[in-house]
Amino acid sequence: MTIVANTFLTFDAKGIREELSDVIYQISPEDTPFISMAGKEKVGNTLYEWQTDELGAVDTTNAHLEGDDIASFSAVTATARVGNYAQISRKTLIISGTEEVVRKAGRRSELAYQTAQRGKELKRDMEAIALHNIGGDAGNSTTARDTATMGAWLKTNVDKHATGTNPSYTAGVPSTARTDGTQRAFTETILKSVISSMWTEGGTLKQLFVGPYNKGVVSNFDGIATTNFDLSRPRPAAIIASADVYVSDFGVLSVLPNRFQRERDAWFLDFEFISIAHVRPFRVTKLAKTGDAEKRLMLLEWGLKVKQEAALGLAADLSTS
């Protein structure tokens, strides 16, 4: 069918108003369950320290004579002093004066919108850093301080490939990250090995954090009790509530997928022993105006605090596909 001659079409018209939605659609994930579930505390130094202790070994020969005198005494073991460094994480932005005042779709203030975006990015950075494999570094005038992350802390309840090595501590600080070993498939045998080790040390099973691929692997384990959760009403913790439950011989684990951790790691966590320490909490600073633009600095000085690494566990060197 043909168009009648001289029909005026939109292709020739001038002045048609643009149709631009007043909504900005974003798919980038924002959930950060690790730093959201971890405790929060204020510290007053870039090196913050604490003490750990443990009871002596069980003595099955603890039987003594009636009326016996004491000629010798057991040695007292000092507490262990451990610590970590706080690092500075930041985001910056600069918005021209004109961009701030022109009419825009989807937001009134470019400055407010971009500030919120950078804040979300900063939280995602923290989540990925905390679950990474980075040794603590005191830093200097040319090197930034690094907080020791989960990969550098855990060494007691670890199931790893023989080619991998556990991290080492210097003066109580996990200064050398673990050496990754050859990757292998995540199996229920590996999972049970870590669970058993944690329970023997005195740990309590709470959460298992895995990447998206290994979340699917765990879902096929025999010990999975439920594969869904009835969330009666929406709430901020919905991402945490939608977890499978693994029932082991030593307790129940909630299995949570995490988008920002390394896929090769599976973390067995009890957040009673994990917190985020702040030297300076998150803040937005208005920087000096040197021209026709607004400058902002978003910054926080923070570090990871693993109060007792023997309460946690790690299945390392897992396959990622």
pLDDT given at position 241:
38
Q: What are 154-206's pLDDT values in tens digits?
A: 999 999 999 999 999 999 999 999 999 999 999 999 999 999 999 999 999 89
Starting at the earlier edge strand, list the strands of the sheet with 158-159: 158-159, 313-315, 266-269, 207-210, 251-257, 244-248, 224-226
Would you say residue 157 lies in a domain? yes
Would you say residue 28 lies in a domain? no
Amino acid at 316: A
Would you say residue 308 lies in a domain? yes
Q: In terms of residue numbers, what domain contains 254?
A: 33-48+81-230+238-315
Would you say residue 261 lies in a domain? yes
Cα within 13 Å of Cα(32), Cβ side = 18
Amino acid at 250: F
Q: What are 221-245's pLDDT values in tens digits?
A: 887 765 555 555 555 444 443 458 8
Q: Looking at the DSSP assignment, which residues form a beta bridge with residue 269?
A: 207
Contact by Cβ (8 Å): 8, 46? no
Query: Which two three-digit tokens encode residue 231?
Result: 């969330």
Residue, of 38 and 14, whose pLDDT is higher:
38
Would you say residue 306 lies in a domain? yes
Cα distance between residue 138 and residue 85, in whole Å: 6
Return the DSSP state at 271: G
Contact by Cβ (8 Å): 167, 178? yes
Number of domains forming the structure of the chain: 1
Residue 28 has pLDDT above 90, yes or no: no
Alpha-carbon radius of gyration of the chain: 27
Query: Which two three-digit tokens encode residue 197?
Result: 């080790």
pLDDT given at position 231:
52
Query: Which two three-digit tokens encode residue 314?
Result: 């790690």
Judge residue 244's burial from the number of C-beta atoms within 10 Å of its C-beta, 0-12 exposed, 13-18 middle, 19 or more buried: buried
Would you say residue 137 lies in a domain? yes
Return the DSSP state at 272: G
Ranges of beta strands (E only) in 125-206 are 158-159, 168-170, 173-176
The rounded Cα 201 to chain-centroid distance in angstroms is: 23
Would you say residue 26 lies in a domain? no
pTM greater than 0.95: no
Task: Pick the closest to residue 101 from 91, 93, 92, 112 (CA basis).
Answer: 112
Q: What are 259-294's pLDDT values in tens digits?
A: 999 999 999 999 999 999 999 999 999 999 999 999
Return the DSSP state at 71: -
Contact by Cβ (8 Å): 106, 23? yes
Out of 5-9, 58-62, 206-210, 248-252, pick the least confident.
Answer: 5-9
Cα distance between residue 212 and residue 261, in whole Å: 10
Would you say residue 100 lies in a domain? yes
